[in-house]
Amino acid sequence: MNETSSENGEEPPSGDQLGSLKEFKSAGRGFWPDVPDANWNHWRWQLKNRITSLEQLQRLMPTLTPEEYAGTKLANTRLALAITPYFFNLIDPADEHCPIRRQVIPRVEETHTAPWEMSDPCGEDSHSPVPGLVHRYPDRVLFLVTDRCAAYCRYCTRSRLVSNASGYDFHPEFDRQIQYIREHKEVRDVLLSGGDPLLFNDQKLEHLLDRLRAIRHVEFLRIGTRIPIFLPQRITPELCGMLKRFHPLFISIHANHPRELTTEVRDALARLADAGIPLGNQSVLLRQVNDDVTVMKALVQKLLLCRVKPYYIYQCDLISGSAHLRASVRKGLEIMESLRGHTTGYAVPQYVIDAPGGGGKVPVSPEYVLSRNADRVVIRNFEGKVFEYVEAAGGMPRYKPSENFTAPELV
Ligand code: SF4
């Protein structure tokens, strides 16, 4: 079992599941009790000692289920298996349904595909003017810098390219990508992603950021990373000192379950926040991971404790072999309904569906506007109470009505 310790030694009130989920605990040393501190706390040791094979996994976790065994056997032809020792310690080997386990241990269901599932559900390849650059929205680009991550998420929307297990042949060409950005003056926002940009060493990342900062029309840099969650040891004071030279620089992390927010992660996020980097979180709604009102409430409240704004909850993309991890939109709306008004506004993320095939992010929300015409807007609040707002001059119907249309009287 995991060796975890409560930070302040206090037990949460019994039955207080929310309080218990919000406790910060260390991942502990678990399966690696004898590794010297200097190694354990070094990101390169963590990377070098990742769990990447079925043999390692079976040795550490004899409780592997037949579905996990079969999935892991096939993983290296689809999306590789890799888990840092630090993150592995968060898995409960006694619990087949452990929410951490479901995110990183392959299952045979990954080979079950449906006609509506895709290898590139967000249509990124069709919006790539040069390899590794996605230009889908008018004023910003997605700059894919690597196909490697510290660990691999089984629902990854870029599983076609990350880990290079399925032979995608990903070769970003920085010179061509940067040249494209230089030539497109409308690009004011560059999001570095991949794979995980924080896997680069400080010098390589600094050089890339320097080149982007030298482009005058690039106002804003962002990094999308799961490293603070999978490998908090990478968030060194030196890295933070380097990153703060490039403001405005925002970082989006990716945490799905409150148990991922350990004391190690909290401290790593504090180093980033102390470097003046605004932090946001992007979660993916996942079945039996976080498709639960209490779990999601604990996650968003705990993120605020780490100075991270919950930014998006993504409906899981229609990535091939992900049906066992996809939760319903109905459940997503129920979760949003449970957050809005019921907790701090800063804790409420935007729930979005990335429109299949490349339509971009579409916000989805419980319906709060019950009806609207040129005169009045009828709304309901988080308690279900209905209110009428008298529309300001110039209020127009949302859709242009046909010529024969007569607006109904509001009741
Ligand atoms: S860290 Fe991000 S890019 Fe890497 S496998 Fe997970 S979701 Fe995919």
Q: What is the CATH number of the domain that holds 163?
A: 3.20.20.70
The verdict on residue 44 lying in a domain is: yes
Looking at the fold, whether 154 and 205 belong to one and the same domain comes out as yes
Asked whether 154 and 110 are in contact (CB, 8 A), the reply is yes
What's the 149 CA to ligand 1 centre distance in angstroms?
A: 6
Which of 183, 178, 191 shows the shortest CA–CA distance to 221?
A: 191
The model's pTM is 0.91
Domain encompassing residue 400 = 367-411
- Ramachandran sector of residue 407 (left: φ over 0; alpha: ψ -120 to 50; beta: rest): beta
The yes-or-no answer on residue 156 being catalytic is yes
Looking at the fold, whether 141 and 279 belong to one and the same domain comes out as yes
- The residue whose C-alpha atom lies closest to atom 3 belonging to ligand 1 is 195
Which atom of ligand 1 lies closest to the CA of 159? 8
Looking at the fold, whether 208 and 97 belong to one and the same domain comes out as no
Looking at the fold, whether 349 and 374 belong to one and the same domain comes out as no
The verdict on residue 276 lying in a domain is: yes
Q: What's the Rg (C-alpha) of the chain?
A: 23
Q: How many domains does the chain have?
A: 3
Looking at the fold, whether 194 and 68 belong to one and the same domain comes out as no
Looking at the fold, whether 290 and 381 belong to one and the same domain comes out as no
The verdict on residue 147 lying in a domain is: yes
Looking at the fold, whether 82 and 226 belong to one and the same domain comes out as no
Looking at the fold, whether 260 and 401 belong to one and the same domain comes out as no
Looking at the fold, whether 236 and 380 belong to one and the same domain comes out as no
The verdict on residue 4 lying in a domain is: no
Phi, psi dihedrals of residue 106, rounded to the nearest 5°: -65, 150
In the structure, which protein residues have their CB atom closer than 6 angstroms to any atom of ligand 1? 149, 152-153, 156, 158, 162, 195-196, 226, 254
* pLDDT tens digit sequence for 226-239: 999 999 999 999 99
Which atom of ligand 1 lies closest to the CA of 195? 3
Catalytic residue among 101, 107, 154, 158: 158
Looking at the fold, whether 391 and 300 belong to one and the same domain comes out as no
Q: How confident is the model at residue 3 (pLDDT cuts 50, 70, 90)?
A: very low
The verdict on residue 10 lying in a domain is: no
Looking at the fold, whether 92 and 216 belong to one and the same domain comes out as no
Looking at the fold, whether 200 and 341 belong to one and the same domain comes out as yes
Q: How confident is the model at residue 411 (pLDDT cuts 50, 70, 90)?
A: very low
What proportion of the chain, given as a percentage, has pLDDT over 70? 93
What's the 11 CA to ligand 1 centre distance in angstroms?
A: 34
Q: Is the pLDDT of residue 304 over 50?
A: yes
Where is pLDDT greater, at 330 or 3?
330
Strands across the sheet containing 369-372: 369-372, 376-380, 386-390
Q: Is the pLDDT of residue 6 over 60?
A: no
What was the pLDDT predicted at 98? Answer: 97
The yes-or-no answer on residue 292 being catalytic is no
